[in-house]
Amino acid sequence: MEQLHQSIIDAVREAGVIVRSADEDKGVKEKSGHQDLVTRYDGAVQRFLEERLLSLLPEAGFLGEEDAPNHTEREWVFIVDPIDGTTNFIKGIPIVGISVGLAHNGQMEQGVVYNPYTDEMFTARRGHGAFCNGKPISVTSNPLADGISFFGTSLYYPELGDRSFAIAKKLFESSLDVRRLGAASLDLCYVAAGRGECYFECSLFPWDYAAGSLILEEAGGIVTDMTGAPLRYDRKCSLAAANAASHQQLLDLIAGCG
């Protein structure tokens, strides 16, 4: 497992070279709509990772953002977002995650999230702790009142906008301040690394949070959906993630927003 983990990290680091050396012209196209964009690099990085990862573990299935799922009923499944934060990537905002999770019978066993611009490699194996560039990381013990609150706007679902901003407004009033990074995988890693205390988003796909959720848990945090139920990795989910000291407070605040 340790050897496999290192090989996954190596593959993700190589994928980072592709992202970092992207042309000015990224070949931007609309996917489902005006706010849902994709570049030719999303597909290229996914193809690179699919080939590399399946060569490491040929019996695994593969679930990625950019293509059809491949044998996701298998015991082992890679769950991959080749570029998390595509809009940041297009705009030149250096907050982008290459996210690779490895699930075993529906439970995350390994998580790797790499920001190729800051050269930060967040990693975790179940039961072995969480790391950034090889150094152990852990959540803070701050209550929300002393915390930074990350959130995502689920912008692909305009009907969730009012709810997202209502919760964000409450967090703005109840914590030190709010931040919106634009890459769910890194929101989770930032809470894991103690750069903030909580994160929520009303609707995400498994590839956005698979790796980051394990990294956060291994750093001592708690992540559930916004009702407090365990995350699922086979369909969309809302996300409520926090250090252990403020997770219940976050759930209560969300429930208080209706």
What residue ranges bind Ca ion (CB under 5 A)?
A: 65, 81, 83
Q: Pull the structure tokens for residue 84.
A: 């998390």
Binding part of the chain for ligand 2AM, among 17-25, 67-75, 161-169, 202-210 by CB under 6 A, reads 202-210
x-marked contacts with ligand 2AM along 71-90 as a string, rule CB under 6 A = ----------x--xxx----
Q: Is 254 helix (H, G, I), strand (E, B) or coil?
A: helix
- Write the single-letter amino acid at 119: D
Question: Is 65 or 187 the residue whose CB approaches Ca ion more closely?
Answer: 65
Q: How many other CB atoms are there within 10 angstroms of residue 161's CB atom?
A: 13
Q: Is 101 in the site for ligand 2AM (CB under 6 A)?
A: no
Dihedral over alpha carbons 176, 189, 221, 213 (to 10 degrees)? 130
- The DSSP 8-state label assigned to residue 145 in this structure reads G
Q: In 3-state terms, the chain is what percent helix, strand and coil (to 5)?
A: 35, 30, 35
174 binds, among ligand 2AM, Ca ion, none (CB under 5 to 8 A by kind): none
Could you say which residues in the range 116-155 bind ligand 2AM, by CB under 6 A?
152-154
User: Residue 118 CB, nearest distance to ligand 2AM (Å)?
Assistant: 16
Cα Dmax for the chain? 49
204 binds, among ligand 2AM, Ca ion, none (CB under 5 to 8 A by kind): ligand 2AM
User: Residue 234 CB, nearest distance to ligand 2AM (Å)?
Assistant: 15
